[in-house]
């Protein structure tokens, strides 16, 4: 009798397991070639793409059909530079002293959901307090809705440098942070800091090769690491299979970063032609973050939004990023899509596409940088970044063809991540 009663349950379970989702796509963007294909059906089984078929296929009676016939369908976007724990506001600097770790964690869940709803199914988080590691785990478990996260945990800087967490504090609070806190002053410190991040659970390594805009420090562009320190960090990161990134505005710091083995240069504001040639030679990628540059430029005009020392740097650095990007594209510098979301509101990441197009990058090249290129950099080129059989079903849809209307990328109508629909029509 017990076996007999168990039979219906087993049958129901097998039916549910067999259920596939059929996406009827009016247009599909082949991001590898830049071509747009018409009238296709993407069959999703479990977390992956089972097949892509011509025409609109019906599937079985138990299967789900989603009508995207009037949409343009693409793989989910990948943003290589976000700060998922926070979001810029006039209170940001005081919040370092008023928010508890739990406050930061709860806020981050909102930012994560906004990011996913905007069509970004994967992000690389380049520095926070360490809450970003816990958030990554919670999203992976399904406890929180958000993008797949590759995180640096806490970024690595030098004493008084852009990632020194005690900048701007009174002496009693400054102390002497070291490798555990992400502050290094020698090659040995650099090795220890990388190993600490690995121990903490970080996926990637981020250093601040030069001064920065939003830290409470005088210079926004001076070099802050020696080549020897950078090499120690990149070589150790390589041992642990971790991709490396360097925040950099000043040219000398960028050159040291590239020569030291850093793979991605973030921002790149004052990059010279010589450095661009160096990046081409070493196959180092520029992550432009134009949107962040425009945001800090505008906010610097608002009295009291930033501390005075920050407002000055924002006014000097922010307006120059898009022009540098335009030169880099003409030079053939490899480009990886990244925005610095958190400096501007999470969920507006796709604005970067508009600014990239304004600067002369063909929109299909920009989309490729946010899909194929970024997936390969993250070591996920065989499962992310394309709509292909066997790839993870990270699928989004917009209302228009981005070739005709780039702003359509700001209005994502459908979001699926690993076969689960998070935003529907």
Q: pLDDT per position in the chain (425 positions), as tens?
A: 445 444 455 444 444 456 999 999 999 999 999 999 999 999 999 999 999 999 999 889 999 999 999 999 999 999 999 999 999 999 998 888 899 999 999 999 999 999 999 999 999 999 999 999 999 999 999 999 999 999 999 999 999 989 888 888 888 888 888 999 999 999 999 999 999 999 999 999 999 999 999 988 888 899 999 999 999 999 999 999 999 999 999 999 999 999 999 999 999 999 999 999 999 999 999 999 999 999 999 999 999 999 999 999 999 999 999 999 999 999 999 999 999 999 999 999 999 999 999 999 999 999 999 999 999 999 999 999 999 999 999 999 999 999 999 999 999 999 999 999 999 98
Q: What Rg do the C-alpha atoms of the chain give, in angstroms?
A: 22
Which two structure tokens, joined as six digits, stand for 55? 């025409």
In this prediction, residue 204 carries a pLDDT of: 98
Burial level of 82, CB count in 10 A (0-12/13-18/19+)? buried
pLDDT tens digits, 80-125:
999 999 999 999 988 888 999 999 999 999 999 999 999 999 999 9
Which residues, listed in sequence order, are joined to residue 150 by a DSSP beta bridge? Answer: 124
Cβ pair 293, 196 in contact under 8 A: no
Name residue, tokens 């420090």: 217
Q: What's the CA gap between 333 and 319, in Å, rounded? A: 20
The interaxial angle of helices 290-299 and 321-331, nearest 10 deg, is: 160
Sign of CA dihedral 143, 147, 150, 155: negative
Rounded Cα distance, 226 and 239, in Å: 20
Global pTM value: 0.94
Residue 399 near residue 408 (C-beta atoms within 8 A): yes
CA 394 centroid distance within chain: 15
- In angstroms, rounded to a whole number, what is the distance separating the alpha carbons of residues 311 and 321? 16
Residue whose tokens read 């499962």: 383
DSSP state of 359: T
Q: Region of 364 please: left (phi>0), alpha (psi -120 to 50) or beta.
A: alpha
Whether 132 and 153 have beta carbons less than 8 Å apart is answered as yes
Q: How confident is the model at residue 216, as a pLDDT? A: 86
Who's near 126: CB < 8 A, 6+ residues apart? 81, 82, 83, 151, 152, 155, 204, 206, 245, 247, 266
Q: What is the reported pLDDT for 17?
A: 54
Sheet holding 244-248, edge to edge: 205-208, 244-248, 264-267, 285-287
Q: What is d(CA 380, CA 126) in angstroms, rounded to the nearest whole number? A: 18
C-alpha dihedral, 31 to 85 to 358 to 378, nearest 10°:
-30
């Amino acid at each position: 009798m017990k076996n007999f009663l168990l039979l219906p349950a087993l049958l129901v379970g097998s039916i549910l397991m067999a259920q596939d989702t059929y996406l009827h796509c009016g247009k599909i963007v082949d991001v590898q070639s830049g071509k747009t294909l018409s009238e296709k059906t993407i069959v999703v089984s479990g977390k992956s793409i089972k097949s892509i078929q011509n025409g609109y296929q019906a599937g079985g009676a138990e299967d789900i059909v989603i009508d995207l016939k009037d949409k343009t369908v693409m793989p989910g976007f990948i943003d290589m530079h976000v700060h998922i724990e926070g979001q810029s506001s006039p209170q940001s600097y005081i919040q370092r002293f008023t928010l508890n770790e739990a406050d930061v964690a709860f806020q981050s869940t909102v930012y994560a959901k906004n990011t996913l709803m905007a069509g970004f199914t994967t992000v690389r988080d380049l520095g926070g307090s360490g809450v970003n590691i816990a958030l990554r785990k919670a999203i992976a478990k399904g406890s929180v809705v958000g993008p797949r996260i590759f995180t640096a945990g806490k970024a690595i800087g030098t004493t008084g440098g852009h990632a020194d967490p005690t900048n701007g504090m009174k002496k009693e609070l400054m102390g002497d942070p070291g490798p555990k806190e992400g502050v290094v002053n020698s090659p040995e410190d650099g090795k220890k800091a990388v190993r600490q991040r690995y121990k903490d659970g970080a996926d990637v390594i981020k250093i601040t090769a030069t001064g920065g805009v939003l830290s409470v420090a005088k210079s926004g562009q001076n070099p802050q690491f020696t080549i020897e320190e950078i090499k120690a960090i990149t070589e150790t990161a390589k041992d642990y299979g971790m991709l490396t990134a360097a925040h950099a505005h000043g040219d000398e710091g960028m050159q040291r970063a590239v020569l030291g083995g850093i793979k991605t240069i973030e921002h790149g504001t004052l990059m010279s032609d010589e450095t661009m040639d160096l990046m081409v030679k070493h196959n180092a990628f520029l992550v432009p973050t134009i949107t962040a540059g425009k945001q800090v430029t505008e906010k610097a005009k608002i009295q009291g939004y930033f501390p005075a020392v920050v407002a000055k740097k924002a006014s000097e650095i922010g307006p120059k990023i898009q022009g540098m990007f335009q030169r880099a594209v003409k030079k053939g510098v490899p480009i990886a899509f990244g925005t610095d979301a958190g400096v501007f509101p999470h969920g507006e990441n796709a604005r970067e596409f508009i600014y990239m197009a304004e600067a002369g990058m063909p929109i299909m090249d920009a989309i490729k940088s946010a899909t194929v290129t970024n997936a390969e950099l993250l070591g996920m080129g065989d499962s992310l970044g394309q709509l292909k059989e066997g790839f993870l079903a990270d699928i989004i849809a917009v209302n228009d063809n981005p070739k005709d209307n780039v702003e359509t990328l700001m209005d994502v109508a459908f979001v699926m991540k690993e076969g689960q629909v998070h935003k529907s029509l």
